[in-house]
Structure 1
Amino acid sequence: MRAICLLFPVILVAGSCDKTSGGENNVGKDSTTITYTASTEDFTNPERGFYRYSETTVDNFTALDAGTLATYKSGTMPSGGTFSVMSTLVFRYFIMSGYTGKALPAAFLTNLSKDFATARAAGIKLIPRFTYTISVTAGTCSEGWICTPYGDAPKSIVLSHIAQLKPILQANADVIATLQLGFIGVWGENFYTDYFGDASSNGQKQLLDQNWKDRSEVLKAMLDALPQDRMVQIRLPQLKQKFVYGASALPTASAMTAEEAASGTDKARIGYHNDCFLSSANDYGTFADYGSSSSTPVEATTAMRNFTSMDSKYVVVGGETCSDEYSPQNDCEPTGHAEQEFSDMHYSFLNADYNAAVNNDWQTGGCLDNIKRKLGYRLVLKDASFLSSTDSLAATIHLQNVGYAAPYNPRPVQLLLRNMATKKIDSLTFITEVRKWVTGDVTLRQSFKLPSGMPAGTYELLLNLPDGYNSLRNMPAYSIRLANNNVWESTTGYNNLNHKITIQ
C-alpha cells in the first residue's frame, strides 16, 4: 500500500496557505489549500483576442509568411492604429474571383493546405472566409454606391466549391479556430447577392422562403465540411432562427439553452460574426428582421439583440468595427457602452486592423487595455484544495472567468503529477466542459484514483488545458495560460499549482 503525503509548496503564489485536518473520519488524510494572486498582464492565449487581417486570391496566391505571423504573436501596431496588439488569430480572406462558374484549381487547394501548415508551425489559428468578390460597382441603382450584378456565384457552384474544400478543411481543422459562412454576396457577408435574395433597396427589400432555404442549404454544407467540434459563424443572426426553426420563424424564436450547448448538433455549432460592431442601433442591419414569404419585415432590433445575446453565451462571436459615426455609443464607458456590448454579446475576438477610427478611440478613452485582456476567456485561479488518502487524491480548484466569453472549442482539463526527480508526468482528467465556462465562477471538484505503479517520490501538481487535437496537444502555444502570477510555464504550456505531494 502506498502512503501519500502533502507538502507545502516551496514558493506560494499568495501570502497564505492553510493546512487543516480532514476530520476524525479521515484519519491519515490532510487537506491543503493554496490561494493565488491574479495577474493584470496582457498576454496571448489561443483562439481569442484581437485578430490580424490577411487576404489572397486564387490565381495570385500570396502565401502566409511565417516571419509575419511571428511578429503578430510578439506584438505589432495595426495599420492606422495608435496601439499595439499581440495576436494568435489571423482572419484569412480567400477571394475566388473568376470562379463563379467553374471548379477551383488543384493548385489553390495545395496552396490552401500550405497556409494551414504555416499557421500550425507558427502557433496561430486561422479564421477563414471564402468569397467571390470584395469589390463594389457604383451606378444609378437605388443605393448608388453598390449596384448589381454583385458578382457572387449560384448555389450549385457554391455547393460544388464547398465539396472541393471539405477534405482540406477536415484535415486542417486543428488550426481553424472557426469558419465563417462566406460565399454568399459581396465580401461573403450574405447581403448584397445576385442569387440568394437581395434584401436591399436595390432588390426585393426582404427575403423569401426559398432565399432562406437556399442560404440554409449552404450553411448546412459548411457545417458538414467541418468536424463536429468546429463552429461556423454567420453574418445575420436571423439565419440561425430560419435554419433551426424553418423559413417562417419569427424574430422572437428561442435561443439555445445551456443543455443544448456543446452537444455537437448543428444548432450548437452556429456562431456569429458582426462586422459592424456598434455602428448603429441595429449595427447596419445585423439585428434586422428580413421577413419571409408570409411576413414582411418589421422592426425587430430588440428581439434580435435579445436572441443573439442569449444564444451567443455558448457559441463563438467575433467581428470588426466598421463606422465611427455611432459615437458616443461605441466609445468607452461611461459616455459609451463598448465594454458592456462586448460582454452582452460574448465576444471572443475582433479585427485589430479595421476600423482604426473606432479602435483608436478606445485607446484614447482608456478602455482598450481592458478590452485586450477580456476578449474571449480570461481564467483566473482563486484557490485550490487537495485531500489525500492511500492511492487517491481529491482536488477542488476554484477559478473565475473574468473574460467576455467561454472558450468555444473543446479541450481537456488535466491535473498533472510531475515527478520532481525523473520529470515523468502522470495525467488525471477532470470531467468538465470548458465550452460552458461562461463569465463567472468555475469550480473543478473531483476525486482521482492514482495510476498504479507510480514510483515513490515527490510530485508537483500542475493544471493543463491543452488543445483538443493530438497534433497540437504538446505545443505550449496552443495551451491556455491562466491569468495568475508565478504560475505559467512557457516551455511546457502547464500552469504550476505550486503544490507538491509525496508518494512513499
Structure 2
Amino acid sequence: MLRKGIDKKFKFLPLPGTEKAETLNNPYCGMYRIYRFIADCDQLQPDGIPIEKVLPDTNQQLCLVEINLLPYNEEFLSEEALNIIKRIFEHFSKHKKQMIVRFVYDLEGKGVLNEPKDIAVILEHMHQLSPILISFTDFIYILQGLFIGSWGEMHSSRYLSERNMTRLAKQLYECSGEKTYIALRCPSFWRMIFQTYQPLDSDTAFSGIQKARFSLYNDGMMASEADFGTYGSIRALDSKAYGDKWVREDELEFQYKLNRYVPNGGEVINECPYNDVLPAIETLKKMRVSYLHSEYDEKVLDKWKRSLSVSEGTLWKKKSAYEFIEAHIGYRFRIEEVNVSLAGDKTGCLKTILKIRNVGFAPCYHRFEVKLIVRTASYTTVYEYPVDTDTSRWIPGEKVELTGILSTEEWNQNTYVLGLSVYDPRSEQAIKLANTFSAPDHRGIYSLGNLCFGKGNRS
C-alpha cells in the first residue's frame, strides 16, 4: 500500500485525448438498410438470395428486417413460415446485428385491401410469433409498427381507431421480449393509446411498464410542415382528444421530452427546405434521432453529402454534413477531463474524476457497464473498479461526472496505466468513445494516462 509521504511523489500523466471526426459504429444507433423477406419464402426479396447467404452491411450495426405476412392474411401462420422467420432472426443474430423488425401485410400502398379483414387474425399472428420474439429479445431492438397499414406504416388501415390500436399495442407488448421497444408511427398514436398528454417522465422511464417500452419512428421525416401527415394543425393547448395531431412545433417539443427515454428514427424524404442542412440538424437534435435509413431518400442524403458541415470549430470543418450527421445519430460519448489525486483520507486510495459528455443527438437508452481499469503496461496485472452510473440517462449536451475510488493495497509497481471501459452486456460489445485514446485490446479499454510513483515509495 502507499507509504506516508507518497502525495509528494505521486503523479498522473494524462494521455492526449482530442475528439476524432469519424463515425464510431456503436450498437443501437446509426444508419441502417432494409432487408425484405416474405413469410413463406426463404430468400431475400427481390434478390432471391437464400437467407443464410445474405450479407448484412459490416459498417452498420442496425438492420431493418421487413417480413411480409400477406400470404397469411386470412389464416394462421404455418409451421414453415414460423421456421423461416426463426431462420431470418438466427442469421442476423449470428452477424451480431441489432434488428429493427417490421411485420407487414402490404408493400403496394394498399393497406386496407391487403391487411386481414378480421383483427383476430393479426392478434393471433402476434401470439404465434411470441415464442420467437421472446427468444431473440437480445437481438430484436425495436418492433416497428403494429403490423397494420400500407407498408406497415400505420396509415391507410381499417384498424386506426383507439379501440383497435389499443388492443394491438397491448397484444404486441405482451408477446414480445421485455427489452424490446415497440415503435409507433405518430406521436398522436402514443398519446391516444396511453390516454395522456404527458410523455414519459424519469420515474416511469425504463420501468418495463407498457408505455415505457413504446417509442416512435417517422418515415416522413422533414418532408413538409406536417411531415406528410405525421403532424396536424391543432395546437397542444387547444387539443380536446388524445389522438389529435398537433402542429409541428408542439409535436417536436413532445418528442424532445418523450425521446429522452425511448428511441426515435426513420427515413428522411422529399428534398425541400425542411431538410436543408441547418434545419435538418436542429430537427434531428430535437427529435433525438438515433437511427436513419441510409438509402432513402437519395436526393436528401445527396444534398447532405454535397454540403459542408456547419459544425462550430475546426474538427468537422472539412467534413460533409452527411458525415457529421452520420457520426452524431444516436449517442456519442466524449471524455473531456480526467483528474486523479489522493483520496485525502490517509488510506492511500486514489480518487479519480472523469468528466464525459454525450455529444450525439440522442441518449443510448441502455445501461452499459462502466469500469475504471488499472493495469501494468504488459497487461500481466489488471484491476477493475466498477463506476456507479446509469448511461441510459446520459442526456445529449449534459456533462456527466464519474467518480471512482481506486484501492491501492495490492499495487506493488511504480507505474500503472489508467484506463476506462464502457461495455454493453446485451450486444456483448465494447462501446467506442469519440476520443483519440487508443483501445488496444478486444475489451475496448481506453488508456487515459499513466499513474507514476516515486521509487522507494511502494511496499
TM-score range for the pair, normalised by the shorter chain length: 0.7 to 0.9
The equivalent position to 2:55 in structure 1, one of 68, 83, 88, is 68
> What amino acid is aligned across from residue 329 of structure 1 in structure 2?
Y
Conserved 8 A contact 1:278-1:321: yes
| Partner SS, residue 281 of structure 1 | coil
Aligned counterpart in structure 2 of residue 462 of structure 1, from 401, 419, 430: 419
1:244 is aligned, of 191, 194, 207, to 194
Q: What secondary structure is seen at the aligned counterpart in 1 of 2:255?
A: helix
Structure 1 counterpart of 2:447 = 496
- Contact kept in structure 1, 2:226 and 2:232, CA below 8 Å: yes
2:313 corresponding residue in structure 1: none
Instruction: Compute the displacement of 1:192 (Å).
Output: 1.1
- 2:358 aligned residue (380, 401, 412): 401
Q: Which amino acid aligns with 2:75?
A: K
Alignment-mate amino acid for residue 91 of structure 1: L
Aligned to 2:2: 3
What is the match of residue 107 of structure 2? 134
TM-score (norm 2): 0.83
Aligned: 1:368 with 2:322: yes
The 1-side partners of 2:212 and 2:194 are apart by: 10
Segments of structure 2 that go 5 or more residues without pairing to the other structure are: 44-49, 309-320
Query: Which string of whole-angstrom CA distances, capped at 9 and with x for unpartnered residues, describes residues 316-375 of structure 1?
Result: 011002322xx1221212xxx111110111000100111112111111223111111111
Q: When the two structures are superposed, what TM-score results if normalisation uses the length of structure 1? A: 0.76
Matched, 1:263 2:195: no
Q: Post-superposition shift, 1:129? A: 0.8
1:350 to 282, 289, 292: 292
| Other structure's SS at 1:215 match | helix
Q: 1:75-474, aligned counterparts within 5 Å? A: 86-137=59-110, 148-152=112-116, 154-194=118-158, 196-197=159-160, 211-245=161-195, 253-288=197-232, 300-324=247-271, 327-333=272-278, 337-366=279-308, 367-388=321-342, 390=347, 392-421=349-378, 423=380, 425-448=382-405, 450=407, 454=410, 456-457=412-413, 459-469=416-426, 472-473=427-428
Distance verdict in 2 for CA 1:294–1:480, change over 3 Å: closer
Q: For 1:412 and 1:375, locate their aligned partners in 2 and report how far apart those are by CA, in whole Å.
A: 21
Match of 2:12 in 1: 32
Do the aligned partners of residues 223 and 419 (structure 1) sit closer, same or farther apart at CA in structure 2, a change above 3 Å counting? farther
Deviations 1:397-447 (A, max 9, x none): 111211101102332222233344454544322221112111113323334
After superposition, the Cα gap between the structure-2 partners of 1:4 and 1:122, relative to the gap in structure 1 and judged at 3 Å, is: farther
- 2:240 and 2:163 map into 1 onto residues whose CA distance is 11
**What is the letter of the counterpart of residue 52 of structure 1?**
R
1:205-232 deviations in Å (ceiling 9; x for gaps) = xxxxxx2132122222222333433321
Kept after mapping to 1: 8 A contact 2:394/2:400:
no
Q: Which amino acid aligns with 1:218?
A: L
Query: Does the 8 Å CA contact 1:396/1:443 hold for their aligned counterparts?
Result: no
On the 8 A contact 1:46/1:479 being kept in 2, the answer is: no
Q: Distance in 2 between matches of 1:240 and 1:377?
A: 24
What fraction of aligned residue pairs are identical, expressed as a percent? 22
How many residue pairs get matched? 429
What is the CA–CA distance in structure 1 between the aligned matches of 2:69 and 2:243, rounded to whole Å?
34
Q: Distance in 2 between matches of 1:131 and 1:226?
A: 16
Q: Secondary structure at the match of 1:174?
A: coil
CA distance in 2 between partners of 1:38 and 1:417 (Å): 23
For the structure 1 residues 379 and 105, does the alpha-carbon distance in structure 2 shift closer, same or farther, using more than 3 Å as the test? same
Q: Distance in 2 between matches of 1:459 and 1:115?
A: 47
Is the 1:287–1:305 Cα contact (8 Å) retained in structure 2? Answer: no
Partners of 1:449 and 1:110 in 2: how far apart? Answer: 51
- Contact in 2 for aligned 1:181/1:219 (Cα 8 Å): no
Alignment-mate amino acid for residue 273 of structure 2: P
The answer to whether the 8 A contact 2:33-2:295 is kept is yes
One-letter amino acid of the structure 2 residue matched with residue 240 of structure 1: W
Q: 1:134 aligns to what SS in structure 2?
A: coil
Shift of 1:233: 1.1
Structure 1 CA distance for aligned equivalents of residues 24 and 411 of structure 2 = 37
Change in Cα spacing, 1:278 to 1:298, as seen in structure 2 (3 Å) is closer
How has the CA–CA distance of structure 1 residues 299 and 464 changed in structure 2, closer, same or farther, with 3 Å as cutoff?
A: closer
The 3 A distance-change label for structure 1 pair 417 and 331 is same
Q: Aligned match of 1:45 in 26, 29, 32? A: 26
Structure 1 unaligned residues grouped into runs of 5+: 6-23, 74-85, 138-145, 198-210
Give the letter for the 1:178 counterpart.
Answer: I
Greater alpha carbon shift after TM alignment, 234-243 vs 272-281: 234-243
Query: For residues 293-319 of structure 1, what are the alpha-carbon distances to aligned partners after superposition, in whole Å with 9 as ceiling and x for unaligned?
Result: 979967644333321222122210110
Change beyond 3 A, Cα 1:322–1:152: farther
- Three-state SS of the structure 1 residue aligned to 2:353 is strand
Deviation at 1:30, TM superposition (A): 4.9
Contact 2:372 2:419 in 1 (8 A): yes
Q: Is the 8 A contact 2:352 2:406 kept in 1?
A: no
Instruction: State the 1:193 CA deviation.
Output: 1.1
- Preserved CA contact (<8 Å) 1:50 1:89: yes
C-alpha contact 1:33 1:386 (8 A) present in aligned 2: no
Shift of 1:66: 6.3
Instruction: Report the Cα distance in structure 2 between the residues aligned to 1:425 and 1:222, rounded to whole angstroms.
Output: 45
Q: Which of 403-412 and 422-431 deviates more?
A: 422-431
Partner Cα distance (1:441, 1:29) in 2: 35
C-alpha distance 361-449 of structure 1, shift in aligned 2 (>3 A): closer
State the distance in 1 between where 2:62 and 2:440 align: 21
Equivalent residue for 2:318? none
Closer/same/farther in 2, CA of residues 223 and 490 from structure 1, 3 Å limit: farther
CA contact (8 A) 1:413 1:432 kept: yes
